[in-house]
Structure 1
Amino acid sequence: MLTRISNSPRDYAWGSRTLIAELEGRAPSGAPEAEVWFGDHPGSPALVEDGSGRTLDTWLAEESAALGVPTRLPYLLKLLAAGAPLSIQAHPSKAQAEAGFAREEAAGVPRDAAERNYRDDNHKPELIVAVSDRFEALAGLRELSATRRLVQALGDGPGPRALRAHLEGADAAAALRDTIAWLLGPDSDGDVADVISAVGGARPAEFTAELALARSLAEAYPRDPGVVVALLMNLVILTRGEALFVPAGVLHAYVSGLGVELMAASDNVLRGGLTPKHVDAGELMAVLDAAPSDPPRLPSREAGPGVQIFDPGVPDFALAAVTVDTGTPELELSGIALAVAVAGIVEVTGASGERVTLQPGQALVASAVESPLRFAGAGRAFVAMPGRA
């Protein structure tokens, strides 16, 4: 079974006003268009274009026995278009999500309440692959020696001095954890403002891009401690086709660009700044992985001519990038799959002989019995499917 699915862009304030429209070859709507969800998540389930008017969650529940598909997808596939930075955030592990969800359920916190942290009991590892020529993100905490050099360049005002003091110590993860807890706590306001002021005048050669980003964040979020938290994080520039994988506990914030995002089916977000939304600093610290590291880039592996697989080693999902120029690439599926085209015209044919043609921004759902999928035309598509871990 191959069936086209569709959805409308979500109008979050940080969304780009042009990137999704340009991808789909239409005029901009005039509103921010942040994400298009291709999946069965109840927050915005995709429409199944079989004439029934059903959304994908209903369709899976009603057709699972007849078509041999699961009643729920283990992942959520999105187009993400950032015109402004998203909040700094981290996601819980599976065990943390289960405990947090049970705790808030027992406390009677409504699932749609603004202060709710755990809206479900699942983890939310996520993968993003750049579709635009340039995609900027903050991901993971920078090696502490480099961060100390950056802070040294901010001068000797009281804020930078206080920040340096918190970053002292032989245990890098402990120093970073202490620093973030202090920045997000009630006693840092004056020092945060002073650090942000120092950023405005700092012009060292080594951290030009990081400080330029911090200045733009400060314009959008004056006195927000997230501006200083961002100074502790890796600035990552992806080019088209490059990927990041963000596991549980890792701080991240997408900054700008268009990407294909794939994640476990969850809406659990613990925020740490750069947002008017609820920030629960204590709960963020409870899930935070404060160990410094290199940017969490995820290389792909070749799975045949024209096929690259991004496999983060989680059971929820893997992502295939399929490029069609000459030949007809084939992709073996590990389960129910969703595909979205991002360039050209891609013709997808399943084992049954069913065929769907996709233009950029168009998507389909394919049952596992359609494996292998064969691709023709001239273009590029991404295919989400369960992981093999």
Structure 2
Amino acid sequence: MLIALSNTPRDYAWGSPTLIADLEGRRPTGAPEAEVWFGDHPGSPAAVHDGTGRTLDRWLPAVAEAQGVPAKLPYLLKLLAAGAPLSIQVHPSKQQAVEGFAREEAAGVPRDAGDRNYKDDNHKPEVIVALSETFTALAGLRDIAATRELFDALGDAPAVAAVRDHLSAADAAEALRGAIGWLLGAAQPAEIEQIVDAAASASSDRFSAELALTRSLHRAYPADPGIVVALLMNLVELGRGEAIFVPAGVLHAYVAGLGVEIMAASDNVLRGGLTPKHIDVDELLGLVDFRPAEPPFLRATATGEGAEVFAPGIADFALGHLAAGEPARLDLDGVSIVLGVAGEATVTGASGARIALAPGQAAVVTPDESPLTTDGGGEVFVAMPGA
């Protein structure tokens, strides 16, 4: 089966009023449009256009037995449009999620409570591929020597010196843990302002982009400690078609741009700044991998006949990509979702079933339709279970 899906944009405050509308070729509504979810997640399941009025979370169990597939998707596919920076955040590992969820369930913390950390017992690794010409993100913690150089450029204000003291620890991971723990848990608003003011007036050829981001973050989140946490992180500028993979423990934030995102089906997010929402500092510090690392770029692997796959090597998901310009073929493994992002692509399954997808339009594909082919008239991404 090859059946159209649809959903409505979610109006989170950080969403862009234009990026998704421009992709779909329609007039903006004037409201922020942050994400469109294509999946069976109960938070916003996609509508299945088979005439029954069902959403995907109800449609899948009805076909699972006949197709011999799971009744629930292990992934969630999204269009994500950041008009303002998202919160700095980290996701737990599977074991951490199981333990944290059980702990909060046993304590009787309501699942919709503002201070609840674990909404489910799953991990949430994710991949985002840029659809806009540039997509700005923060991902992982920068090399400690470079970060010390950045803070040396901020002058000698007492709060700046306090961060430098933490960063001087011999072990890089402990240095970064100490700095972030102090910024989120002990620093006073006046101290955060002092550091932000120092960054706003500093100059550095090497870190000019980081300092400019500090100023824009301060306009969006005045005196938020996450502004200074961002100075410890890798600033990443993706070009269209480039991707990063964010596994458990990696501190990250999406700053600006349009992308297609795939993740494990989970709501588990622990925040570390750039947000008015609850921050559990101790729990966050227990999850973050504080080891400095290069930005976590993910390269696609060609699979033949015009197709490539962004495969981070996990069971939850992989993301296929079929470019416009020539016919392409992709083998599927499990229930998949195909999403048009440019041009108009005619997608055909093994049975001969076909559907035309304009940008922003999607369809669910059952495994018996493998291989999936496109006519080259448009560009599509295909969400599917991983290896």
Query: TM-score under structure 1 normalisation?
Result: 0.98
SS in 1 for 2:304: coil
1:1-389 superposed matches below 5 A: 1-326=1-326, 328-388=327-387
SS in 2 for 1:330: strand
What per-residue deviation string (whole Å, max 9, x for no partner) do you get for residues 104-123 of structure 1?
A: 10111111111111000000
Q: Percent identity?
A: 64
CA distance in 1, matches of 2:271, 2:378: 37
CA distance in 2, matches of 1:67, 1:80: 31
CA distance in 2, matches of 1:96, 1:330: 38
What per-residue deviation string (whole Å, max 9, x for no partner) do you get for residues 315-343 of structure 1?
A: 100001101312x2110012111110000
Can you give the 5+ residue segments of structure 1 that lack an aligned partner in the other structure? none
CA distance in 2, matches of 1:143, 1:305: 39
SS in 2 for 1:285: helix
Amino acid at match of 2:59: W
Amino acid at match of 2:177: R
Moved more, 66-75 or 38-47: 66-75
8 A Cα contact 2:324 2:343, kept in partner? no
SS in 2 for 1:123: coil
8 A Cα contact 2:89 2:251, kept in partner? yes
Where does structure 1 differ by over 6 angstroms across 4 or more consecutive aligned residues? none
8 A Cα contact 2:38 2:77, kept in partner? yes
TM-superposed deviation, 1:193? 1.9
CA distance in 1, matches of 2:187, 2:210: 25
8 A Cα contact 1:79 1:260, kept in partner? yes
8 A Cα contact 2:323 2:376, kept in partner? no
TM-superposed deviation, 1:189? 3.5
CA distance in 2, matches of 1:354, 1:270: 42
CA distance in 2, matches of 1:187, 1:256: 27
CA distance in 1, matches of 2:66, 2:302: 34
8 A Cα contact 1:318 1:387, kept in partner? yes
8 A Cα contact 1:68 1:367, kept in partner? no
Count of aligned positions: 387
Can you give the 5+ residue segments of structure 2 that lack an aligned partner in the other structure? none
Amino acid at match of 1:355: R
CA distance in 2, matches of 1:241, 1:377: 17
SS in 2 for 1:303: strand
CA distance in 2, matches of 1:293, 1:252: 12
TM-superposed deviation, 1:377? 4.0
What per-residue deviation string (whole Å, max 9, x for no partner) do you get for residues 201-237 of structure 1?
A: 0111110000100111011111111000000000000
SS in 2 for 1:165: helix
CA distance in 1, matches of 2:33, 2:66: 36
CA distance in 1, matches of 2:243, 2:371: 24
Amino acid at match of 2:156: D
CA distance in 2, matches of 1:311, 1:229: 29
TM-align CA RMSD: 0.9
What per-residue deviation string (whole Å, max 9, x for no partner) do you get for residues 38-68 of structure 1?
A: 0000000000011111000011122211333
Moved more, 147-156 or 107-116: 107-116
What per-residue deviation string (whole Å, max 9, x for no partner) do you get for residues 132-180 of structure 1?
A: 1000000000000000010000001111111110101221011001111
